[in-house]
């Protein structure tokens, strides 16, 4: 091989390397801008006190209860979500939801978007002004589908939550 062929080969290799580097950088940028959804339990407050405070003034547990990574899909029409087989919301909440229920906050990225309630089906208390997910919350229950009640004014009009679900590819209907 003469030096001209070597120079052309090196130039093509350099161009190819630059091209591949640009593609990888673009993938990283896309991943960095993807939104995230996290659900945090409100720390040491019952639902009445949580509802009386500003959403941004609520103290939350340090780690999310679950994130969009545990959600398989979300039906906007039904206001229902399914968790992945590798995650049990029942087990995660076992022993953490009193009869009166336990408040939670849904966050998109680091922004608090709404307050909700993990309601206990054994309770006679019903809060119609707050999105509520009902169950018995026991690790012995094998449930992967959860319907959110009382969503009209809180979730259904929440563009931030809807857009995040859509951007994450979690919506199964629109």
- H/E stretch holding 12: helix 3-33
Distance of alpha carbon 21 from the chain centroid:
31
pLDDT tier at 152, thresholds 50, 70, 90: confident
pLDDT at 173: 83
Given pLDDT bands bounded at 50, 70 and 90, which one contains residue 157? confident
Give the residue among 140, 107, 137 at the shortest CA–CA distance from 121: 137
Q: Which residues make beta-bridge pairs with 117?
A: 103, 132
Asked if the model's pLDDT at residue 72 lies above 60, the reply is: yes
Alpha carbon distance 153, 155 (integer Å)? 6
pLDDT attached to residue 29: 43
Write down the domain spans for the chain.
1-33, 35-173
State residue 28's pLDDT score.
Answer: 42
Mean residue pLDDT across the chain? 87
Between 150 and 39, where is the model more confident? 39
Structure tokens at 43: 């720390």
For residues 80 and 1, the model is more confident at 80
Q: Between these two residues, 32 and 98, which has the higher pLDDT value?
A: 98
* Of 146 and 34, the one with more pLDDT: 146
Q: Please, which pLDDT band fits residue 147 given cuts at 50, 70 and 90?
A: very high
Res. 34: pLDDT tops 70: no
The runs of H, that is alpha helices, within 53-158 are 89-93
Residue 93: pLDDT over 90: yes
pLDDT at site 57: 97
Average pLDDT over residues 34-43: 94
Quick one: 160 exposed, middle or buried, by C-beta within 10 A (0-12, 13-18, 19+)?
middle
In this prediction the pTM is 0.79
Interatomic CA distance for residues 130 and 100, integer angstroms: 14
């Amino acid at each position: 091989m003469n030096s001209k062929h070597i120079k052309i080969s090196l130039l093509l290799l350099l161009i190819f390397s630059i091209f591949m580097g640009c593609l990888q950088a673009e993938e990283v940028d896309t991943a960095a801008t993807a939104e995230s959804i996290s659900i945090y339990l409100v720390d040491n407050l019952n639902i009445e006190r949580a509802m009386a405070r500003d959403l941004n003034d609520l103290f939350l547990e340090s780690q999310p209860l679950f994130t969009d990574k545990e959600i398989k899909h979300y039906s906007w029409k039904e206001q229902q979500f399914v968790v992945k087989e590798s995650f049990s919301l029942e087990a995660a909440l076992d022993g953490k939801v009193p009869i009166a229920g336990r408040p939670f906050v849904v966050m998109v990225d680091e922004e608090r978007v709404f307050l909700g309630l993990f309601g206990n089906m054994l309770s006679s208390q019903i809060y119609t002004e707050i999105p509520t997910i009902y169950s018995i919350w026991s690790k012995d229950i094998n449930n992967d589908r959860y319907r959110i009640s009382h969503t009209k004014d809180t979730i259904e009009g929440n563009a931030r939550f809807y857009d995040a679900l859509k951007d994450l590819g979690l919506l199964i209907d629109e």
